[in-house]
Structures are given as C-alpha cells and as structure tokens.
A and B are shown apart, each in its own frame.
Chain A
Amino acid sequence: MPKRKQRKVEEEDSTRTGTPKIDLISTLPDSLLCHILSFLPTRCAMATSVLARRWRHLWKDLLVLDLDNSKHSPYYLPGGTHRFIAFVNAVFAQSKAPHVKKLRLACDIPRGEKKTIKTWIHTVVGPHLQELYLDLSLPCNEFGNRDIKLPEEVLTSASLESLVLKGHMVLTVYDGFVDLPSLKNLELDLNYVDPEFVLDGCWALENLKLTLHESFPLNASDPPVIQMPGSLKRLTLIQADDTEEDLNDIEDLVIDTPLLEYLSITLWARCLQVSISNYPNMVEAHLDIDQDKEQVGWMLELLKALHQTKLLDLKLSTMECLLVAPAFELPEFSRLLNLELEIPYFNSGFLIKLLHNCHMLQVLTLHNREKVSTVEPEEPNCWTLPMKDPDCVISHLKIFEFKGYQDSADEHAFVAYLLERGPILKTMKIHAHRSLGLKYKHRIRQELSTIPRSSKTCKLKVT
C-alpha cells in the first residue's frame, strides 16, 4: 500500500511544473540512515551502497548483521552455500563497524566450512554483543560430527540480552558456569542440550523457549532437573516430536515463576516431581500434556494455579488426562475470556459445569475429536436443561465456534441452548465433521437456522 501512495505523490510532483524534486531522506543524519538500514537484511543494506554517493559507505557502519540463507528467505543464494560464504566474508571484510551488536545467522553448514562459520561467530562475540541468533539447523550433507562448539564467551557474556540457538551446536564451559546476567530472551532448539546447565546462569531471564530433543543430562549420575528462573514471564516448553528415543523421566520440573504471563507446554515425558507456584499475572496458557495416571496430579495442580488466566487452551491429551483423573475438580476461572478445548467426546453436562466456572467468558471454541461411529446406534440424548443459566452465557459470551460437529442429539441440544439463551452472542460458527456430506451440512444449517435466537445480531455459519 505505501508503494501506491508514493507513486501518487510522484505524479503530483511531476505535474507541478517547475517544482524541484527534493531529496526527502537526505535531511536525516547519517546515524538515522544507518538506524534505518539496521532493520534491513544485510544483503539489502549492502545493496543500498549503489543508491547515491552518500549511501556508499553507510552500510559499513552497521552494528547489526542479518545474514539469512534459509530457503524461504528472499535473499537466498541458490547454487550451493559457497556464494553465501563469500558474501558473508565480504561483509566482514568490508564492514567498518567497531563491533557487532546483533547477529542473526541462518544457514546450513556445508562440507568443510565449519571453520569459516566458527570464525564468524568468534569475530562477533565480544563485550558489545547484545543479540545472537544462530540457526544452523538447515540440512547439510556432511557426515560425521557436524556440531559446532560455541565459544565459551557466549555463555559468560555480561552484555548478551537475547540468545537463540537452533541446530547443530554444542554448548560447553570448561571452567566455571554459565553466567548471563543481562539475558532476557533465550531460545534453545539444539540436538542436545542440558537445560539445567544453561538455566542456572540466566537469573534475569524473562522469555524462555526450550525444545527438548535428546535425553539429558550428560552425566548419568546427575538427575534430570529443569528449574525455571524465577524472573520468567513467558515460558514455552516443547518436547520435539522427532525424538528418536523417549526422553528420560524428568526427575524434577520446577516452575516457580510468580511473574509468569504466558505458558505453553507440550510434553509427554514423565515428570516425577513438579513444583508449581501461583501465577497471578497469567494471561495466556496452552497445555498439551500427556502423563500417566500416577503423575496426573501435578496437571490438576497446574490447572488450579492457572485460574487467573485470560486465555486457556487445552489440547486433546490434556483433556483426556484430566477427564479420567480421580477427583477432577474444575477450578473457577474468574478472569477467563477465551477458552479453547479439544475434547475426546462430547458431554454437555461437563461443558455446562465448566461454563458455570467461567463467569466472564467471551469466546468459546470446542473441538470434538471423537471418532465418528457409523455402525453403533446413536446414544440416547443425555442433554438436560441446566437449572440456572451460566453467567457467561447470559452476559458475556460473544463468539462460539464448534469444530468437528457430528450432529449428535447432545451436540445439537447444546448448540440450540446457546442460541436460545445467549443474548450477547454475535457469531456462531459450526464446522461439521468432515465425514458429513454436503447435503447433511445443508440440513444442519436449516435446522439450526430455525431455532429462535435471543440475540438479534447473531450470525450463524455452518461449514
């Protein structure tokens, strides 16, 4: 859109006879121009050197390097990484910057170029480095040991604020420990990582995204422990799908983070002991957890601790575990605005109970993952009209979305109930299960449209 606007301005300028065209951007000082270039990928910034005399050497003062050779990047250099390697060498050779503040490097490691890449990393690591982003996870055709050992200074840097490491890297510190006092953002997606080793030294950390691939820790004698830094505001813990062998049991998972605002866990390794604190600032929580019956207790505890959250997203495994857990009591979600559930089967009674505990709910999304049974006869309708309408249905529920609708009697009754009793309802989207044909969907639409809606502005959509 901006491009069109500029053309318009240019046309206006040229129609005005005699108006000299002013160089718009040259009124800005060099430092500002350089600041603008720092938001560009380095290849693009380097290209600005042909724009005009003033721009010739501007890019060389850049303290920020964005070198991305991944396939989806518009600056990808096809035909082998050698062109990219030459390009980056040229950047380092020509740059006049006294140090590098931020480096973003995404490329693969071709045969024999490990040293080159190590050199680049060594060049950049120093007392001024604030952000380091390395994505060496792209497939490379080198066999044998292809891990690059990061220089130790990275893990003991006082200036580093953000560290993202993905792919074939190994972290070690020979003498001493990891010490990253300024680190606010950490993302680790390495083939092998020992979380405790790293997290110990990040005591001011605010954002953490940890992807576990291999079993840890290195020493069999050390128990596998993950202790989240207490300053954490955002936590994403993922157990990668591609783990060749199952992760060992996690002996101790400590999420004692009272400042936590965002939580996302995808995990099925057994956690023998989990410490959970209160999360009064919680805003958004996504849980995709699968645990054996013996360990499910901590999941219930976690759910209770999340009672202040504004958004709650429970995936199928989590719901399955919770529903079969003994003494599963739904906590009261006093601030919940947005609820998303993947349910293993539809049970209106359970849902109504849940709605009673979410007084402020505005958005409800259900995904019925039950397998459609074509042979068994339909179960008797277990819908019972609630004695008291849930507060949220009467006063707050605006958006309702139902995925995998199978048009069972129970489902139909529930949907009808919301239409009839929800005066605030604005949108209702029903996505029929994919096994239902077009004709059936049409019939559903007809049936639901005939139900009297208490909200005049409610839009019903059946797909």
Chain B
Amino acid sequence: MSEIDMAVSKPEIMQPYIWLQTPDGAIQQVEQEIAMFCPFICQEVIQKGTGSSKNCAICLPQRVTPTIFSLILDYCRFHQVAGRSNKERKSYDEKFMRMDTKQLCELTSAADSLQLKPLVDLTSRTLARIIEGKSPEEIRGIFNLPDDLTEEEKLEPLKNTTADPRIRLLNRLYAKKRKELKERERLKNVEVEEENVDDRSVDDLLSFINGNDADPKEMKNSKNKKKNRRRKEQQTSSSLKEASELNNKEINGHNIIPQTDGANGVSEASQSNTEDSTFVPREFDDGDIDEDIDPALQEKLDRRGASEQRLSCLRVTSRSQVQAVESATDVIIREVEDFARILNSDWPERMQELLSLGQERKAMPFTSNGNSFLR
C-alpha cells in the first residue's frame, strides 16, 4: 500500500499537515499537532474529514484573519509541547500578551471562534486588567466606545444603591407588593374581576407615592427571571425555616416585619398554594430596620425573583419625596392593610398562627446581641 493510498483511507492520522483557508481565501498548511490544538479545527477534521488536502481545506471562521491566525499558531506551537513547566508557560503568556488593544480584541474574538479556551481566558484576563481601576472616560478612550448614555442614565447605578434605609425599605416593600400581585394573577386566574381591583389599587398606591406614572403594563409583564435559582431554594434546609420563624419573635417589636418566610414555612408544610405577604405594620425604627428586615425581605425578593427593572419604576430618591413619603406612611400602611385583607381573606388566621409560633420561640434563650439569629 503506497503512502498516498494510506493517506486517502485514514486522512486524519497519516497526514502530518492540515490544510486551512483563511477568510481572505488564502490557503495554508499547518502541522497537524499544532492545528489540532484548536478544538474547532479538531472538530472539522474528525467530524467532517476536511483539511486533508488543498481542495477540502478547512474554512476558518470569519473573525480569524491571517495576521491573527499566525499569532494563534505561535501560541499553539508553544503550548502543545507537553514537557513545559507552569513557570515557562506563564512567562510565555506574559510576553505573548504584549500587543495593542486592537489586536488584543481581535485575538480574543478569533480565539473564541476557534474555541481555544485557554487563549480566550488569557486575553479576557488581560483586557480585564486594562479595564480595571480606570475611569469611564479612560476606558472609553482606550476602546473608542461611544459616549451614548444620557446624564440621567449614567446616574442610574448610583440611584440604585441609595443608602437611606427608609428609602430602601420602602422600595423593597413595594417590590414585594408587586411580586405578590404577580402571584395573585397567576394563581387566581378565574377571578378576573378581583384581579383588576387589585391592580388598580396598587396603581393608586404607586402613583400616589411617586407622583410619576407607574406603568401598569410593566408590572404585568414582569418575568420572574430568577425563578430557577429561587425555586430550588424553596426546598432549602430547616435552617432557613428556623431563621424565618425566629424572625417572627420580633412581631411585638417595633418593625415592619414581613411574615412571608414564616408564612412560607407554614404554608409549604401544609401544601397551600399561596405565597402570602402578611404585613404587620408598625412604626419605623431606623436603628433596627435593616437588621430584621433585610434578610427575610431579601430572601423573599430572591425567591420570588422579580427582575430589578420593576424596582426602578418605584425609586424614591429625593429628600422631598422622602418627607412626603414619611407623612404618607401611615396612610399607606392603612391602605396596605386593607389591600392585604382584600387579597388574603385568611390573613387574620394566618397572623394568629404566626403570632403563636413567635410566642413559642420567644421562650427560647437569646444570645446577648438580642438579634434573632442564634447561629
């Protein structure tokens, strides 16, 4: 059997060279071990049998230009040698990364299309290091990014990390209400009229507070994007349940406490179908607000998985709004109570259950810090 015959029958093993075609049409030969270092080329050879001759050269993806491809080949040529130490490889990588950003971006793109993960990681890390620690203007300068955001939009991340606990609390309460609405809509589809009533009263709430138009459509369209993660969490350990039940101790205290987790714990056990939020409205107490509310609220937030965009329509950000909010708080609280009662007819009974649970817990010894988390 002549060499040519053997080559034809087992192209991928006998041929020491692989034929590749760059997007500009040029065809070149590359040593097999080096080219096969790229998963893309590997796949083409094994699955489609291409690359064995000039006529069936493998077409490289669009993003792999000739200059970039020769760089990639250099990389593969070095790294496919087995005996090199980690130190050697690291040192080579450092030297290899010395190029201008334009080429770096092109290289990242090309490596990605060839599925060469180690090189993608290397270039990505380098680009990350370029970005890190620089001001937005500097970064825009380096990459020639268009400065196409309005001043308002630029401030949005700052708005979203408001430090005032009261504002945050309110934002969260409203988020909860809206999430709750979503559930009501889904679960009580039969009672359409009731739904409408619910939506409208929440709308009133929103516009009353904010003075802007809370878009009712947004609420209805909210997709629970975080559902997957959160659902699994609903089946989480007793420690969560314990935590939430311990939370109920504070009922007679001075905070607004969502009984949600307690309710959840109870409802999950009894297989009921609702995720009730049962507000126990009390006066605000600045000092302890976050300590008691945040985790449970946050858990609820996460579990129900409302997306953040919904929150943004209810940002209460300015001082004057805070004051308006404060004075309106009592009104809201009453409205919320009414609201909750409309939605949840067994709310009083649920409250009783939770209160009694809370009483039992209260009998347990506390740790010195007085917060309900023992461990």
Contacts and interface: CB of A to CB of B under 8 A. Distances in A.
Interface of A: 1-3, 5-6, 9-10, 21-29, 32, 35-41, 44, 46-53, 55-56, 60, 74, 82-83, 85-87, 89-90, 92-100, 111-116, 118-120, 122-123, 126-128, 142-145, 147-149, 151-153, 170, 174
Nearest to B232: A126
Interface string B277-318: 000000000001011101110110110000110010000000
A115 to B, nearest CB: 4
A116 B301 CA distance: 13
Given A5-B100, A32-B108, A86-B163, A50 B239 contact: no
Contacts of A39: 124-125, 128-129
A116 B373 CA distance: 10
B145 A23 contact: yes
A115 B228 contact: no
Contacts of A93: 160, 298, 301, 308, 311
B295 A116 contact: yes
B101 A24 contact: yes
B109 interface: yes
29 contacts: A23-B146, A28-B109, A32-B120, A32-B124, A39-B129, A40-B132, A48-B131, A52-B146, A52-B148, A53-B148, A53-B149, A56-B149, A86-B163, A86-B168, A90-B161, A92-B301, A93-B301, A96-B226, A114-B373, A115-B373, A119-B295, A123-B299, A126-B229, A143-B369, A148-B375, A149-B375, A151-B236, A151-B237, A152-B239
Contact of B371 (A55, A114, A148): A114
A48 B124 CA distance: 15
A118 B295 contact: yes
A37 B295 contact: no
B157 A49 contact: yes
A3 B233 CA distance: 45
Contact of A119 (B145, B225, B288, B298): B298
B133 interface: yes
Contacts of A147: 375
Contacts of B130: 2-3, 6
Given A32-B109, A49-B157, A92-B298, A21 B140 contact: no
Contacts of B239: 149, 151-152
B143 A25 contact: yes
B148 A115 contact: no
Interface in B130-172: 130-133, 136, 139-149, 153-154, 156-157, 160-163, 168
A41 B132 contact: yes
Contacts of A50: 136, 149, 153-154, 157
A37 B372 CA distance: 38
A153 B240 CA distance: 12
Contact of B131 (A44, A94, A128, A153): A44
Contacts of B240: 122, 151
Nearest to B301: A93
A314 B307 CA distance: 57
A21 B101 CA distance: 13
Given A32-B108, A32-B124, A48-B139, 4 more contacts: A35-B124, A86-B168, A94-B160, A119-B294
B105 interface: yes
B8 interface: no
B140 A51 contact: yes
Given A99-B228, A153-B236, A143 B100 contact: no
Contacts of A99: 228-229
Nearest to A52: B145
Interface in B219-235: 225-226, 228-229, 232-233
A344 B17 CA distance: 61
B161 A26 contact: no
B298 A24 contact: no
B47 interface: no
A392 B46 CA distance: 50
A25 B225 contact: no
Contact of A36 (B128, B229, B232, B295): B128
Give the one of A38, A93, A95 with max B CB within 10 A.
A93
Contacts of A60: 308
A338 to B, nearest CB: 13
A9 B374 CA distance: 59
Given A93-B308, A147-B375, A27 B109 contact: yes
A89 B133 contact: no
A29 B63 CA distance: 12
B320 interface: no
Given A48-B139, A93-B311, A116 B367 contact: no
Given A40-B128, A51-B136, A115 B295 contact: yes
A29 B299 CA distance: 33
A89 B141 CA distance: 31
Contact of A44 (B133, B232, B296): B133
A147 B302 CA distance: 24
Nearest to B112: A32
Nearest to A8: B100
A9 B371 contact: no
B333 interface: no
Given A51-B136, A114-B373, A151-B236, A28 B108 contact: yes
Given A50-B149, A126-B229, A21 B371 contact: no
Given A5-B100, A9-B101, A144-B368, A26 B145 contact: yes
B243 interface: yes
Give the one of A22, A123, A170 with max B CB within 10 A.
A123
A51 B148 CA distance: 8
Contacts of B101: 2, 5-6, 9, 24-25
Contacts of B102: 9, 22, 24
B349 to A, nearest CB: 28
B104 to A, nearest CB: 8
Given A2-B101, A28-B109, A36 B369 contact: no
Nearest to A100: B229
Nearest to B153: A56
B127 interface: yes
A80 to B, nearest CB: 10
Nearest to A13: B144
Contact of B147 (A21, A38, A52, A82): A52
